[in-house]
Amino acid sequence: RLTRDAYERFDAAYQRAKLSVVGRAAAMRDVVTDCLENDLELLGVTGVEDRLQDNVRATLELLGNAGVKVWMLTGDKVETATCVAVSARLVRRDQLIHVIANLRAPHEASDALETLRTLPDCCLVIDGDSLQVTLDFYRDEFVLIAAQLPAVVCCRCSPTQKADIVRLIQSATRKRVLAVGDGGNDVSMIQAADVGVGLVGKEGKQASLAADFSILQFSFLARLLLWHGRNSYKRSAKLAQFVIHRGLIISIMQVVFSALFYFAPIALFQGMLLVGYTTVYTMAPVFSLVLDRDVSEDIALLYPELYADLTKGRSLSYKTFFTWLLISIYQGGALMLIAAWLFDTEFIHVVSIAFTGLVLNELLMVALEIRTWHRWMAWSILGSLAIYVASIWVLPAYFDPSFILSTAFVWKTVVITAVSSVPLYIIKFIRRIYAPPAYAKLA
């Protein structure tokens, strides 16, 4: 207990320390230590448990093998953040930890960056004040150097600083940034990132409510990225390109038809044929491609390098676009040219042959692109084919039933469909033998 005499002595010494011109803060701290912080009676101790969740180490290792660079932005002090990074295996056992702290002047930040250039494989640990000085004077240089490091730990970061770092990485590297947080101080960072993931934990649900995705444990992030994220990217790329192909091929057929018949202002497919092609005849099979997968979930999580392969952009690029463009030109030209070569006496017969070959070609192309069959894929293809066959009898304005039942219609349709589709199956078979994709070696 503090007596009146002891308090008066403390107050007098503290007032003198406050009037000091040199070393004022240190003098005030010494007075508090000497006069108050002694002979204390401990009444109780409280603490907050702050430990790693399960499988954090394994998750970070998977993300590292998948080519994902991890930055840890925290409000902890340097020592605590370093210990967390080591225990979470963000830092390898043989990896150097380079600490930048207590920078106050621009020349100190410049010297620190020059030293950092010589340590390309280290883990950088930098405190908030040093980070602010570095960003104020050497923003571009710092982010270019730090982006090449395997791991970065930013300590004593305010919520605003976390969001600024996310925006800085986005603008400097042109890469997609995913932010993971579990507290209210992470909301600004999560909202600034391209993709935000919130953890539902003991600190509340502010982060999860502000995020794009909400998970219960950090370890679920591996499955979210390596399995669901990879499938989403590959399926979206395939679906987008197939929709482009579906529209291009019918356009190519119209162009070839117009060129063959002296650019007469006549539409090759009219009315219900044009509407039905993009809806009931091909929509379900094309959109069933979102159920496709090249590898199982176990293999995707066992070999995270499959996710790193996505960064090469091979699933959706100029090359794949022009590949599908050439396929559309070849198939549309082949369907229309052979249909014209097999030209019958009636125009309606040419339309019947060309349109039937077009629908069958699209269904075969969907089957060609499927890697893992799902029952709904098979039902969509068979169902669309059944709907088309049934529509032949209810659309007499576009089809001649007597011609449809003839052998001429059957063999002509088989010929144009085979010429447009079989070469692509042969090319795919040869590529699977001599240049198989990475996933084919693991499936």
Helices (H), 193-263: 206-210, 220-223, 230-260
Give the 3-state secondary structure percentages of the chain, helix then strand then coil, rounded to 5. 65, 5, 30
Per cent of the chain over pLDDT 70 is 97
Residue 87 has pLDDT above 90, yes or no: no
Q: What number is the average pLDDT over the span 57-79? A: 88
Q: What local confidence, expressed as pLDDT, does residue 305 receive?
A: 87
**Per-residue pLDDT band at 443 (split at 50, 70, 90):** low
Residue 246 CA from chain centroid, whole number: 26
Q: What one-letter code names the amino acid at 107?
A: H
Condensed to tens digits (0 to 9), the pLDDT of residues 14-65 reads: 998 888 888 888 888 888 888 887 777 778 877 666 677 788 888 988 988 8
Tell me the pTM. 0.77
Q: What number is the average pLDDT over the span 390-417? A: 85
Q: What local confidence, expressed as pLDDT, does residue 406 receive?
A: 84
For the chain, how many helices (H) and strands (E)?
A: 20, 7
Q: What number is the average pLDDT over the span 340-347? A: 72
Is the CA virtual torsion 42, 44, 50, 53 positive or negative? positive
Residue 1 has pLDDT above 70, yes or no: no
Condensed to tens digits (0 to 9), the pLDDT of residues 188-220 reads: 999 999 999 998 877 778 888 889 999 888 889
Please classify residue 259 by burial: count the beta carbons closer than 10 Å to its beta carbon, then call 0-12 exposed, 13-18 middle and 19+ buried: exposed
Condensed to tens digits (0 to 9), the pLDDT of residues 89-144 reads: 888 778 888 888 888 888 888 888 988 888 888 888 988 888 888 888 888 888 88
Q: What local confidence, expressed as pLDDT, does residue 50 receive?
A: 65
**If you average pLDDT over every residue of the chain, what do you get?**
86
Q: What local confidence, expressed as pLDDT, does residue 248 receive?
A: 92
**Per-residue pLDDT band at 378 (split at 50, 70, 90):** very high
Of residues 345 and 261, more confidence is placed in 261
Residue 270 has pLDDT above 90, yes or no: no
Q: What local confidence, expressed as pLDDT, does residue 403 receive?
A: 83
CA–CA dist 267, 258 (Å, integer): 8
CA–CA dist 443, 441 (Å, integer): 6
Q: What local confidence, expressed as pLDDT, does residue 271 receive?
A: 84
Condensed to tens digits (0 to 9), the pLDDT of residues 2-11 reads: 788 888 888 8
Residue 76 has pLDDT above 90, yes or no: no
**Per-residue pLDDT band at 225 (split at 50, 70, 90):** very high
Contact at 8 Å (CB) between 367 and 381?
A: yes
Please classify residue 415 by burial: count the beta carbons closer than 10 Å to its beta carbon, then call 0-12 exposed, 13-18 middle and 19+ buried: middle
DSSP states of 49-93: ---PPTTHHHHHHHHHHTT--EEEE-SS-HHHHHHHHHHTTSS-T
Write down the residue that tokens 């091929």 correspond to: 249
